[in-house]
């Protein structure tokens, strides 16, 4: 089923998000604990989460056909997590079920307007990509993942780098969010296969301390590297250009998932505008709106809501105007 034509008169392609989904267990704490501390915390309502799943749900909410892929056990919690993703419009046909993978949960501590996220490892060392899953990825506009999730990729004798290179060669943009740049898994040559890279300020410092450089990524073919700075906004590094886009000062309820909102909103607005500056403005606005709600998926906003906020804050440029994706285009894509 075809939707409204996207950039260049083409129908919008689907996107694939491969990574984590989890049940987020929230606790409110008077302060963040230090070594030897004992803190009484107040449990809050659990929320569906996972960095990549959050981004996928928010991206799909803008109306683009979106698939979520991961490697999970076939237990009750997984069924609940996948049912919720399907309920918000995600295609989960290519999720890999593996009896040896533990339940996926995160622990999130909230104090004032900041948070700490504890992510238990799932211990995945081999993720076999089937030919059907590969074809689905290779037909997508984006493959959005992380270094941690992509490292186990295999197709027979082909390793993760070869799999990503083949997907990219088919025309799919490879996107990775380095987040805080986990030193245990980095530096990794997989980021050299990326078209768009996101990282936050902490991740950028760790990135540099590993001897990496943004210019090095750009020289090796990356289209854009985006460094986020919470309410300060972001800095976009592109081929032959770098610019800052200011953030928004808003009342904060919960910052969990603001980065996921930024990532998916940036990718959506770039998909429909093909303009990096506009994408950054749109993503900043969406992230600012998301922190006014509890839960990592507070960024599931209508595009019109984000555009209205941009207009009210004087940050809506008349050009380029994004092309709308109709509800008709939100049906599930063929493999």
- The C-alpha atoms of residue 111 and residue 115 are separated, in whole angstroms, by 6
Rounded CA separation 258/230 (Å)? 8
DSSP 194: -
Tens of pLDDT along 5-54? 333 334 458 999 999 999 888 899 999 988 899 999 999 988 888 889 99
| Cα radius of gyration rounded to whole Å, the chain | 19
pLDDT tens digits, residue range 121-168? Answer: 888 999 999 999 999 999 999 999 999 899 999 999 999 999 999 999
pTM of the model: 0.84
DSSP one-letter string for 239-270: TTEEEEEE------S--TTHHHHHHHHHHHHH
Instruction: Compute the distance between CA of residue 310 and CA of residue 307 in angstroms, rounded to an integer.
Output: 5
Domains present along the chain, CATH in parentheses? 15-317 (3.40.1190.20)
Tokens at 331, concatenated: 């049906």
The predicted-structure confidence for 62-119, as pLDDT tens digits, reads as follows: 999 999 999 999 999 999 999 999 999 999 999 999 999 999 888 889 888 788 888 8
pLDDT digits (tens, 9 = 90+) for 161-182: 999 999 999 999 999 988 766 6
């Amino acid at each position: 089923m075809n939707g409204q034509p996207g950039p260049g008169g083409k129908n919008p392609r689907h996107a694939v998000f491969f990574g984590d989904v989890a049940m987020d267990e929230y606790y409110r704490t008077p302060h963040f604990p230090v070594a030897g501390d004992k803190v009484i915390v107040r449990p809050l309502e659990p929320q569906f989460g996972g960095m990549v799943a959050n981004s996928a749900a928010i991206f799909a909410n803008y109306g683009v056909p979106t698939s979520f892929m991961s490697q999970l056990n076939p237990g009750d919690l997984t069924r609940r997590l996948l049912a919720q993703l399907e309920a918000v419009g995600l295609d989960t046909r290519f999720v890999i079920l593996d009896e040896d993978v533990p339940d996926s949960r995160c622990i999130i501590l909230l104090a004032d307007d900041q948070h700490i996220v504890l992510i238990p490892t799932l211990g995945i060392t081999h993720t076999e990509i089937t030919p059907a899953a590969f074809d689905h990825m290779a037909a997508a506009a984006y493959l959005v993942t992380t270094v941690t999730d992509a490292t186990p990729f295999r197709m027979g004798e082909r390793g993760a780098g070869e799999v990503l290179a083949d997907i990219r060669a088919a025309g799919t943009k490879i996107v990775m969010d380095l987040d805080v740049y986990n030193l245990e898994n980095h530096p990794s040559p997989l980021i050299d296969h990326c078209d768009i890279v996101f990282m936050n300020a902490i991740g950028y410092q760790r990135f540099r301390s590993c001897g990496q450089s943004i210019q090095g990524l750009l020289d090796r073919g990356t289209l854009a590297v985006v460094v986020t700075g919470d309410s300060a906004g972001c800095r976009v590094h592109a081929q032959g250009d770098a610019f800052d886009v200011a953030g928004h000062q808003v009342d904060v309820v919960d910052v969990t998932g603001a980065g996921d909102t930024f990532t998916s909103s940036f990718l959506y607005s770039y998909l429909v505008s093909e303009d990096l500056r506009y994408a950054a403005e749109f993503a900043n606005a969406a992230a600012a709106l998301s922190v006014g709600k509890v839960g990592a998926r507070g960024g599931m906003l209508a595009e019109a809501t984000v555009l209205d906020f941009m207009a009210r804050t004087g940050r809506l440029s008349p050009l380029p105007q994004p092309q709308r994706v109709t509800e008709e285009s939100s049906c599930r894509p063929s493999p």
